[in-house]
Amino acid sequence: MSEERLKRKITIILATDVFGYSKHIEEDETLTIKTYNDREVILLNLIKEFRGRVFNTGGDSVFAEFSSAVDAVECAFTFQNKIHQINDNPDTKCKLKFRIGINMGDVVEKGSNLLGDGVNIAARLEAMAQPNGVCISKSVYDLVAPKTDLLFNDIGIQKVKENKFHAFDLMMKHSKKREKSNQSFHKRSIIGFSATFVVLFAIFVFYFWQVENKPSNDVYVHNSSEPTLLIYPFENLSDKNDSNRFAAAFTDSMIQNLSQYSGIVVLSGSTSNHAIQNDISDSEMNSKYGATLLVRGSIQSIGSSSRVGVRMIDLEKNIVAWSDKYQFNKDEIFDIQDKIGTEILNQLHLNIITGSLTSEFIKKFGTLENLTIVLNARNEWRKFTPSGHDAYWRYIKQLEENLGENSPALYNQKAWGIYQRIGLGLSENIGDDKAKLFELADADIETYGSSQAYALRALIEGRFSKDGCGKSIELIRKAIEVGNTNDALTISGAIERKCGNIDYSIQNLKKALKITPNDNGFFIRRQLAGSLYMKENLRELENLVEPLIEQDDIDPAMVALLAYAKLKNGEKKLAIKIFEKSKKIGLSEGHIKRVLFAGEPVDTFFKEMSSIGSLEP
């Protein structure tokens, strides 16, 4: 049934992005963006020349499809050689290095976009490619190797997140040959040793390494601040074959629908199947897959009528967060699928993700579709990167289509976009942008007078007005008086800290955490870490950050501040280890300034940390 609804095809996917793009941006935003735009023109022209089609782009990434594997690989080969030649030129100031992954797979067409594992694996291959390199799947290799003179290096079976695949490097003059990854660790460990003790020791090390570092199953265990949802395959409670098809259709539909919201991770269908095949209990879902939420459903059919029951379980609290039942006829299945997906999203927004803000957004934007667009835009904005910025404005364009280009509901969202454009150095006319920013913020206050409106106005007052703290403090306290929303409290925490009111900053950030069901991206916690640092409350800083240090999306500044706390508490060796981790995940001076602002707090941090390392590579 779901196969009839989804438009599928087999195609060749090329995925590319820039290696170390964020670091380039932090060093010189204007030069990086200009250089990327020039390199992107080369890439897009080559894709067109080799008969490809671009179906998705981000700030530093491009996804394209090809009907020919040979065309895709030769396009990648030509592009990487051109980029290498450009970077080899001593006059090239910004040497951007691209990575490319190419896969052949089954994809789902959604408008002009492509979705599914075929695209996901291309992205995984791109992430494991060498800088200025190309990594392809075996399915592409089998098609291309016999038909070209290109050389390839087998790097073996790769397992990334929930995907497992055989990969090959495309060898070029500038490529480095990598070893095959699926060689036996045991053989590598004991070659050259003959003493029984050494062999036993090697076996022990091997066993310990496996237990400590490898997941206990073949699926990806998600580990980040985002809620992680597992859709368990729907259960058929009747003997009818139609119910079996309905169950599969509902499972697939839920995964597809809920994956549209970027604020939550929806585990793949292969993970769902792994769960049912291995009879994983609810209590094991979190440890096995990192799931924090579980959706279970059942279908029962009698004649032409069917009933579906659905419940959402909060695995961390061990409670049923929501449940409902729906009656439908055979020809109503698609409407019921959409209705259930919509209701689950609604419950997620209200109870798991943004809390009280959701009610305010629903009043303002009217439909759950618009709400989801707003929240997706919000998540992109919080990345504070050029690619996130571009994605943010694409969502705002969708809202303009739904609400009208001049809708007052978009005053606040457009103002946030302009604020970020200035902050990222992307503004082509700062004077005009500042004027428009204040105009939109004032109009938002006049139209809605909401907590969100006053909070934004307070932020831009503190950033761009001569009055500085005085007017900004007045506005942010007005925002909190109007409504204790998590965004207003978070902005208050930043403004009060900047203006020297550290106790008030900590108080409001803790309130924000208390009323926010899920602090996606540690947006609030990183601000709180900065305030605790400035208060010199290092024990509380440790208690806040240390339990989160292994999260995939931990903010580098939080890790660096934890290293500072460890150093000041006399744990120098541990401080060095933690500081190295912060640098490994991309720490820059900009990260520290965003939570401490400029001046003495930043200078003190780097002065103290200089005894154990620096940000220089």
Band (pLDDT 50/70/90 cuts) for residue 475 is very high
Provide the CATH number for the domain around residue 233.
3.40.50.10610
Same structural domain, 199 and 99: no
Distance (Å, whole) CA 67 – CA 50: 10
Which of 217-231, 368-382, 441-455, 550-564 is least confident? 217-231
Question: Which residue from 431, 422, 411, 412 is spatially nearest to 384, judged by alpha carbons?
Answer: 422
CA dihedral defined by 225, 227, 230, 234, rounded to 10 degrees? 180
Q: How far apart are CA 560 and CA 580, in angstroms?
A: 9
Token look-up 């981790």 returns 581
How many domains does the chain contain in total?
A: 4
pLDDT digit string, tens, across residues 200-233 = 333 333 333 333 333 333 444 445 566 788 888 8
Task: Give yes or no for residue 286 having a pLDDT over 60.
Answer: yes
> Does residue 172 share a domain with residue 193?
no
Partners of 104 in beta bridges: 12
Q: What is the mean pLDDT of residues 109-127?
A: 86
> Is residue 71 included in any domain, yes or no?
yes
Q: Pick from 9, 145, 15, 154: which is nearest to 75 by CA? A: 15
pLDDT of residue 561: 95
Residue 242 pLDDT:
53
pLDDT surpassing 90 at residue 43: yes
Spatial separation of the C-alpha atoms in residues 373 and 398, rounded to whole Å: 8
Does residue 34 belong to any structural domain of this protein? yes
Does residue 574 surpass a pLDDT of 80?
yes
- Any bridge partners for residue 106, and if so which? 10
* 296 in any annotated domain: yes
CA atoms within 13 A on the CB side of 415: 26
Question: What pLDDT, on a 0 to 100 scale, did the predictor assign at position 157?
Answer: 81
Which of 352, 367, 402 is where one domain is finished?
352
Reduced to 3 states, what is the DSSP secondary structure of residue 575?
Answer: helix
The predicted pLDDT at position 162 comes to: 55
Using a 10 angstrom Cβ sphere, with 0-12 exposed, 13-18 middle and 19 or more buried, the burial of residue 317 is exposed
Same domain assignment for residues 267 and 168 = no
> Is the domain of 61 the same as that of 176?
yes
Tens digits of residue pLDDT in 417-432:
999 999 888 999 999 9
Residue 62 within a domain? yes
* Residues 109, 197 share a domain: no
Pick from 612, 599, 528, 509: nearest CA to 563: 612
pLDDT for the residue numbered 597: 75
Model confidence pTM above 0.75: no
CA angle at 251 for the pair 245 and 255, rounded to the nearest 5°: 145
Q: Can you give the pLDDT at residue 278? A: 78
29 plus 169 within the same structural domain: yes
Q: What are 113's strand-pairing partners?
A: 110
pLDDT greater at residue 163 or residue 228: 228
- The answer to whether residues 157 and 40 belong to one domain is yes
Please indicate, yes or no, whether residues 147 and 296 belong to a single structural domain of this protein. Answer: no
Count the residues in the chain.
Answer: 617
The residue-averaged pLDDT of 260-273 equals 69
With 90 as the cut, is the pLDDT of residue 83 above it? yes
Is 360 part of any domain? no
**pLDDT top residue among 161 and 252:** 252
| Cβ density class 528-550: b for 16+ within 10 Å, e for less | bbbbbbbeebbeebbebbeebee
Mean pLDDT of the chain: 81
Confidence band, pLDDT 50/70/90 cuts, at residue 67:
very high
In a domain, 31, yes or no: yes
Q: Residue 113: give the domain boundaries.
A: 2-183
Taking the C-alpha atoms of residue 324 and residue 542, their distance in angstroms, rounded to an integer, is 42
Say whether both 279 and 327 belong to one domain: yes
Task: Between 308 and 330, name the one with better pLDDT.
Answer: 308
pLDDT at 358 over 60: no
Please indicate whether residue 598 or residue 221 has the higher confidence score (pLDDT): 598
**Is the same domain home to 23 and 130?**
yes
Q: Bigger pLDDT: 241 or 234?
A: 234
CATH number of the domain to which 71 belongs: 3.30.70.1230
| Better pLDDT: 91 or 331 | 91
Q: Would you state the pLDDT for residue 239?
A: 62
Q: Same structural domain for residues 199 and 177?
A: no
Asked if residue 133 belongs to a domain, the reply is yes
343 domain residue, yes or no: yes
Do 239 and 124 fall into the same domain?
no
